[in-house]
Amino acid sequence: MKIHQFSVDEALASLHSRHEGLSAAEVEHRLREYGANRVEQVQGEALWLSFIREFVHFFALILWIAAGLAFFAESRHPGEGMATLGYAILGVIVVNGLFSFWQQYRAERAILALQKLLPQHVKVLRDGKVGLILAADLVPGDVILLQEGDNVPADCRLLEAFSLRVNNATVTGESLPQARDAVPSIEENLEHSRNTLLAGTSAVSGEGRAVVFATGMHTEFGKIAHLTQTAGKTRSPLQREIARLSRLIAILAVTLGLAFFLIGSSMHMSFWDNFIFAIGIIVANVPEGLLPTVTLSLAMATQRMARRNALIRHLPSVEALGSATVICTDKTGTLTENRMAVSALYLGEQLLTPTAVHRQPELAQAYHRFFEDALLCHNLKETQLDGKWQLMGDPMEIALVRMAKTCLGEIRGYPKINEVPFDTDRKRLSTIHQTPTGVVLYCKGALEALLPLCTQIQTATGTAPLTPDARQDYLNAQEDMAGRGLRVLAFAWRMLENSHNAPAQERDLVLSGLVGLEDPPRPEVPEAIRKCRAAGIKVIMVTGDHPHTAQAIGRQIGQVQTDNPVVITGAQLRRLSEIQLRFVLDAPDIIFARVGADQKMRIVTALKKKKHVVAVTGDGVNDAPALKIADIGIAMGVGGTDVAKEAADMILLDDNFASIVAAIEEGRAVYENIRKFLTYILTSNIPEIVPYLAFALLKIPLPLTIIQILAVDLGTDMLPALGLGAARPEPGNMARPPRPRKERLLDWRLLTRAYLFLGVMEAIVAMAAYFYVLYSGGWHWGERLTGPEPLYLQATTACFSAIIVTQIVNVFLCKTPGRSVFGAPAFDNRIILWGILLEIVLVIVIDYTAWGNLVFGTMPLAPDVWLFILPFALAMLLLEELRKFAVAKWKRWTGTLNAG
């Protein structure tokens, strides 16, 4: 047997404790044995090791090697700009490493939030005396005293309780306050036992005395903390793709370098000249601007998401959200408003809403005893907060008072002169008030507890006998409300001659009506669910609440659309094997109810094994482990605990599920935008490589210098690439399913378009401009030119400038990869426009200023050179438009064939 199944005396005996509490000597002994009552931090990775890791991941290693090769080349052939390239690459590594480390450092503070949630002080009974001690000094066997508003400091077994209700939402996810008593439980699960209080929860009403049976990491709260800390955070889809991209780039660069080293050897180039040539090929193929562009693009996407109430904590999560195929969402506070509200009334023989009653004052007056009952029969306290008087206590009772005030249209408070407290055996509360018409007993509770005490019912014209038919009508109304996921309360009253012996006067009552309470769904959620379905994203509700409540909410918001949805409770989930769970997850409509923290993790893990990209929403401590292992964890910013926020990748600033849809739309755009600027950046690799090939194979002067390559990669290309990365979502973004998991960021379609089409065109333009200047200056094939000669400097300047001009055209081609440039807005992306302006300014500075000429080895170009380049750039635009037209035609044709 477990402690919650023992009687009070057996529970104390099992802990070697007493009703008077422990002695000071025993406390000291147990404190040494069990340790302080606090959440301990699992030993994690050292801070310095995390710092170093940001500088040695695979792509960073590629850049380190590229920088090393550049410095080596500079040592063999000084003055060719390789040292400048090396320093620029080192700058990229350092800036990205520091930024990534700062993001990681901020994410590793979840344990601080866990410790803040537990109370600092607690009332304890030791040696028969009540004292106030630090919660950290509690030990198993301590007897503590709790009252309304107190946080529970450890896992406890109640010894006695008086109208005690607790809010378990942060640990179990249950939205309604739960009544607690000291009666031995037959419940198997500790967390749902009526006589158990869990660390991290709070008392919303009543008071009690309890014995501590678990402290620190041994509590349910501590176990969740352990899960949160030890659950390994998986890499996002974008992180996996960047790692793959890094390997491909490394292989491609090294392969080309080796290939051209062999070509040079076959042409009898000297070893060192050939080696330096191979280094140039390798460095030219490493897109030094990729990491800063990806980082800045994600950072700008986070700013756009923040404006749509989604705060991103980890940059790679931006794209991960756009890849999501499943959202596992908590119910309380996520799909619902996390507040109790009256949604249905049963008065006479009518099922009404509070709004309908408010519009009919005569109806409210006819049933005024019913509304007075809701207004007066409670244990709420009025407290002044921020200069305003507010009711404090059970949220359900607060909702009833609000409903009564709305329907009555005025506040009528009659003094309470006696009370019969609520307890779990009676399942009802009665209060006695002095009213202008005499002494009245008001009673509320479960219908099954009130019906045997009633002899009459309230009608619109007065009272009438409670007939068997009327009794059945009330039972049917209760069943109907409960089937809609509402919590049902019955109300009754009677006139008294005096207020003495109050419990004996709970008889011959007038049954006045029923109330159905719910935690209402957010009004924006149904539309958000519809958009998720249209976007091919499956929504699964995972909650600690009751299955009937969860299913009713699911139907209201549109998450459940089939007649027989699959509803799995935590107890049923424990009996499912891994294979059975995977089959269950294939159901079109599925709800998990009454599940624990470890079970949420199991659901997420099973979905990931089914190759889903999983987003998990939540707000409680119990959600934190699942938030951490998900591809993206989404916490509530207003109603969420600090624990959930620190474990999450994204925080909803307005706690609105609908904001997730907006964030998904932005996330999807990020992936497409990265492909756009990848195409843009990789395209310029070809016109940077071809000059080296021509230099080696055709025995011509080198058309492009290393410093000019650097000017393109880390100068002129950066801002337009960033503009592509910051582009707004394309039309129809949310009307298509998530991208296939096997789809790669860098695939053969992208490489073919960048390297074999756009890149080749740019290389042709660049080499044509180079030869145009050479031949215009009287150069003859085979003639050697040295660096300082004006003709050579003008020719390399023409090659460099042609690349810039074609890249200006290319940014518009990459901006709309699937549709015509002429069919898209040209000036809707201000970053691209500023980028183009910057490119033009940089070209002017590099080509036409003494400083630019000195640093970059350039010379001013004559106007005829620009006139020579521009028709080629226009031809590039037209050829790409022709390609898009052909691809669209082919897709329509193959689509017609498939349809036929």
Q: Which of 230, 259, 288 is the last residue of a domain?
A: 230
Residue 896 has pLDDT above 60, yes or no: no
612 and 733 belong to one structural domain: no
- Report how far Cα 895 is from the mean position of its chain's Cα atoms: 37
Q: Give 207: exposed, middle or buried? Use CB within 10 Å, 0-12, 13-18, 19+.
A: middle
Flag whether pLDDT at 791 surpasses 90.
yes
Radius of gyration from C-alpha coordinates of the chain: 36
- How many other CB atoms are found less than 10 A from the CB of residue 50? 15
Q: What's the mean per-residue pLDDT of the chain?
A: 82
Q: 750: which 2 tokens? A: 């992208």
* Model confidence band, residue 99 (pLDDT cutoffs 50, 70, 90): low
Contact 340, 398 (CB under 8 A): yes
Q: What is the H or E stretch that residue 70 is in?
A: helix 58-76
Q: What is the per-residue pLDDT across 287-299, written as a single tens digit (0 to 9) for each?
A: 666 766 777 677 7
| Widest distance between CA atoms in the chain | 123
Is 807:839 a contact under the CB 8 Å cutoff?
yes
Domain CATH number, residue 319: 3.40.50.1000
Same domain, 147 and 26: yes
Round to whole Å and give the CA distance between 304 and 402. 38
Quick: pLDDT tens for 419-446: 888 766 678 889 999 988 899 999 999 8
Q: Which pLDDT band, with edges at 50, 70 and 90, does 649 fall under? A: confident
The 3-state secondary structure of 360-377, one letter per residue: CHHHHHHCHHHHHHHHHC
pLDDT for 412: 67
Domain match, 613 and 722 both = no
DSSP state of 5: G
pLDDT band at 111, cuts 50/70/90? very low
Element (H, E) at 149: none
Torsion angle (degrees, nearest 10) of CA 625, 626, 627, 629: 90
Same structural domain, 538 and 481: no
pLDDT above 90 as % of the chain = 28
Q: Is 186 exposed, middle or buried (0-12, 13-18, 19+ CB in 10 A)?
A: exposed
Out of 33-42, 378-387, 842-851, least confident range: 378-387
Q: Give buried/exposed letters for 657-668 (b at 16+ CB in 10 A, else e).
A: bbbbbbbbbbbb
Q: How far apart are CA 756 and CA 765, in angstroms?
A: 14
Residue in this structure with the two tokens 């990848």, named with its chain if needed: 678
pLDDT at 115: 44
Instruction: Note the pLDDT of residue 834.
Output: 92
For residue 542, what are the CA distances in angstroms to 569, 588, 779? Answer: 10, 15, 75
Catalytic residue selected from 330, 519, 545, 642: 330
Locate 163 and state its tokens. 């109208």
The answer to the question of residue 106 being in a domain is no
For residue 279, tell me if it sits in a domain: no
User: How far is it, in rounded angstroms, from Cα 627 to Cα 645?
Assistant: 9
**E-assigned strands of 477-636?**
487-496, 509-518, 538-542, 566-569, 590-593, 614-618, 632-636
> Is residue 112's pLDDT more than 70?
no
% residues pLDDT > 70 (the chain): 87
* CATH number of the domain within which 465 lies: 3.40.1110.10
Q: Please report the pLDDT score of residue 166 as a whole number.
A: 86
Q: Are the CB atoms for 634 and 616 separated by under 8 Å?
A: yes
CA-CA distance, 497 to 440, in Å (whole number)? 9
The mean pLDDT value for 358-374 works out to 90
Residue 669 has pLDDT above 90, yes or no: no
Residue 520 phi, psi (nearest 5): -70, 145
Judgement on whether residues 465 and 384 belong to the same structural domain of the protein: yes
Name the least confident of 20-34, 43-57, 466-480, 756-770. 43-57
Q: Contact, 814 vs 679, CB < 8 A?
A: yes
The answer to whether the beta carbons of residues 676 and 293 sit under 8 Å apart is no
Q: Is 849 exposed, middle or buried (0-12, 13-18, 19+ CB in 10 A)?
A: middle
Number of H helices, E strands in the chain: 35, 26
Token representation of residue 679? 């195409």
| Alpha helices per DSSP H over 630-731 | 642-647, 657-683, 685-697, 706-711, 718-725
CA dist 473 and 481 (Å) reads 12
Residue 437 lies in a domain: yes
Whether pLDDT at 347 is above 50: yes
* pLDDT tens readout for residues 160-210: 988 788 877 767 666 567 788 888 887 777 777 888 998 878 888 788 999
Residues β-bridged to residue 511 = 457, 492
Average pLDDT, stretch 62-79?
78
Q: Report phi then psi at 173, rounded to 5.
A: 85, 5
pLDDT per residue as tens digits for the range 861-874: 999 999 999 999 99
In a domain, 260, yes or no: no
Task: Categorize the per-residue pLDDT at 765 as very low, low, confident or very high, splitting at 50, 70 and 90.
Answer: very high
Query: Does residue 799 fall inside a structural domain?
Result: yes
pLDDT of residue 734: 80
Same domain (yes/no): 715, 793: yes
Look at phi and psi of residue 508 and say left if phi exceeds 0, alpha if psi is from -120 to 50, else beta.
left
The answer to whether residue 412 is domain-embedded is: yes
| Boundary of a domain, candidates 663, 694, 724 | 663
Distance CA(371)–CA(403), nearest Å, equals: 8
Tell me which H or E stretch contains 886.
helix 863-899
For the ranges 62-66, 492-496, 859-863, the lowest mean pLDDT is seen at 62-66
Question: Residue 343 in contact with residue 516, Cβ under 8 Å?
Answer: yes
Beta bridge partners of 440: 433, 495
Residues 651 and 787 grouped into a single domain: no
**Out of 58-67, 78-87, 99-108, 619-628, which region has the weakest mean confidence (pLDDT)?**
99-108
Give the closest residue to 207 by CA, choosing from 147, 166, 150. Answer: 147
pLDDT at 479 over 60: yes
Whether 677 is covered by a domain: the verdict is no
Determine, yes or no, domain membership for 559.
yes
Decide: helix, strand or coil at residue 533.
helix
Task: Evaluate if residue 106 carries a pLDDT over 60.
Answer: no
9 labelled catalytic:
no
Question: Domain check: are 28 and 173 in the same one?
Answer: yes
Per-residue pLDDT, 205: 78
Q: At what angle do helices 110-117 and 220-230 cross, to 10 degrees?
A: 170
The DSSP code for 151 is B
CATH code (residue 802): 1.20.1110.10
Give me the pLDDT at residue 70, please.
75
CATH number at residue 139: 2.70.150.10
Measured distance CA(771)–CA(716) in Å, rounded:
23
Please report, for residues 258, 264, 400, the alpha-carbon distance to residue 177 in angstroms, rounded to integers and kept in the order given. Answer: 70, 79, 14
Q: Please write the tens of the pLDDT for every residue from 4-40.
A: 888 999 999 999 999 889 999 999 999 999 888 876 6
Contact 321, 615 (CB under 8 A): yes
Tokens of residue 363, six digits? 């109806």
Residues 647 and 727 in one domain: no
The full DSSP string for 743-771 is --SS-HHHHIIIIIIIHHHHHHHHHHHHH
pLDDT at 107 over 60: no
Same domain, 594 and 641: yes
- Among candidates 224, 194, 215, which has minimal Cα distance to 15? 215
In the chain, the N- to C-terminal Cα span, in Å, equals 68
CA distance 19 to 143: 7
Cα distance between residue 519 and residue 529, in whole Å: 18
What is the band of 543 on the pLDDT scale with cuts at 50, 70, 90?
confident
* 565-574 residue pLDDT tens: 999 998 899 9
Write down the pLDDT at residue 758.
93
Q: Please give the Cα distance from 289 to 85 (Å, whole number).
A: 12
Interatomic CA distance for residues 11 and 631, integer angstroms: 43
Note the pLDDT tens digit of each residue in 673-683. 888 888 998 89
Q: Is the pLDDT of residue 369 over 50?
A: yes
Whether the CB-CB separation of 798 and 777 falls below 8 Å is answered with: no
Query: 41-55, 389-403, 461-475: which range is least confident on average?
Result: 41-55
Determine the 3-state secondary structure of 541 from DSSP.
strand
Q: Which of 205, 230, 255 is the last residue of a domain?
A: 230
Residue range(s) defining the domain that contains residue 616: 311-337+522-663
445 shares its domain with 529: no
Using CB atoms within 10 Å of the CB of residue 220, give its burial: 0 to 12 exposed, 13 to 18 middle, 19+ buried. buried
Give the highest mean pLDDT range of 244-248, 740-744, 809-813: 809-813
* Burial 386-419, CB ≥16 within 10 A → b, else e: eeeeeeebbbbbbbbbbbbeebbeeeeebebebb
Q: Is the pLDDT of residue 44 over 60?
A: no
* 450 or 94: which leads in pLDDT: 450
Q: Which residue has the higher pLDDT, 751 or 809?
A: 809
CA atoms within 13 Å, Cβ hemisphere of 726: 23
Tell me how many domains the chain contains: 4
User: What tokens were used for 285?
Assistant: 């193929």
Instruction: Find tokens 């031949």 and name the residue.
Output: 775
Q: Is 411 helix (H, G, I), strand (E, B) or coil?
A: coil
HSE on the CB side for 697, CA within 13 Å?
10
| Whether 420 and 475 share a structural domain | yes
